[in-house]
Amino acid sequence: MTARSLSVYVDAMLDRLLLTCGLVAGPLFTVAYLTEGALRAHYRPLRHPVSSLAIGDRGWTQTVNFMVGGLLSLAFAAGLWRAGPSHWGASLVGVWAIGLLCAGIFRTDPVSGFPPGTPDLPQPNTRQGLLHDLFSLAGFVALAAACVVFAWSGTPGWAIYSVVSGVLFAVTMVLASAAFAQKESLVDLGGLIQRVSVTIGWTWLAVLAVRTLNG
């Protein structure tokens, strides 16, 4: 094997490794928060946000989950930049990754009565909680935008799936935010709506990873 062919082989393997990170990030993140949510006392997955799992003595588990999900997503963004069809789209996935990392660095405030003894809507928010919400919002907006940007880089079927995923992701995130703001008709389903939203987002990222790996 010549030096040039070796370099090409190494580059190809690096691309595949980085893109595979996008395939595994979502399932790992989802299994982790579902498991911890099922085990945490007084935590109601249908009502409480995923971020609330970072509160308390075992909160480190969700913090690690945010960090791992963010690092894997950042590696995926690098793979998309190297091998994907859109640098703009890759940058937006990178913003999503940074949002996850910052969600791990800045812990959310209690909401919807978790942990027990805390108010449904604490006032005022802490600086940490505000930064958590700000970076999370930036990540959510970036991922919804990435769905639209990448829609133009494939078949009509892929375009439709991407745009629909982006719209549904954004709409369900808005509904989840309203629930956590204690909108009476949604508050008891805030956790469920948020889980539907993040599942839509992670699934789209995994499909994008598969398409790029096979492209």
Residue 6 has a pLDDT of 63
pLDDT at 3 over 80: no
Domain ranges in the chain are 3-214
Average pLDDT over residues 117-131: 91
Q: What are phi and psi of 111, to 5 degrees?
A: -155, 155
Terminus-to-terminus CA distance in the chain, angstroms?
Answer: 25
Residue 28 has pLDDT above 90, yes or no: yes
Between CA 201 and CA 130 the distance in angstroms is 23
pLDDT-derived band at 25, boundaries 50, 70, 90:
very high
Burial of residue 82, with CB atoms counted within 10 A of its CB: 0-12 exposed, 13-18 middle, 19 or more buried: middle
- The answer to whether the beta carbons of residues 60 and 87 sit under 8 Å apart is no
| CA–CA gap between residue 108 and residue 90 (Å, rounded) | 27
70-80 per-position pLDDT tens digit: 999 999 999 99
Angle between helices 87-105 and 127-151 in degrees, nearest 10: 160
Amino acid at 193: I
Residue carrying structure tokens 């439709």: 160
Mean pLDDT value across the chain: 95
pLDDT above 80 for 8: no
Per-residue pLDDT at 42: 95
Rounded average pLDDT over 158-175: 98
Which tens digit of pLDDT belongs to each residue from 56-92? 999 999 999 999 999 999 999 999 999 978 999 999 9
State the pLDDT at residue 84.
79
- When pLDDT is averaged across residues 87-105 and rounded to a whole number, the result is 98
pLDDT band (50, 70, 90) for residue 11: confident
* Residue 18, CA distances (Å) to 26, 42, 75, 211 in order: 14, 38, 5, 14
**Predicted local confidence at residue 90, as pLDDT:** 98
Complete DSSP assignment for 37-95: HHHSTT--TTTS-GGGGGSSTTTHHHHHHHHHHHHHHHHHHHHHHHHSS-HHHHHHHHH
More confident residue, 141 or 7: 141
Could you tell me the pTM of the whole model? 0.95
Q: For the segment 199-214, what is each residue's pLDDT rounded down to a tens digit?
A: 999 999 999 999 999 9
The phi and psi torsions of 114 (rounded to 5 degrees) equal -125, 130
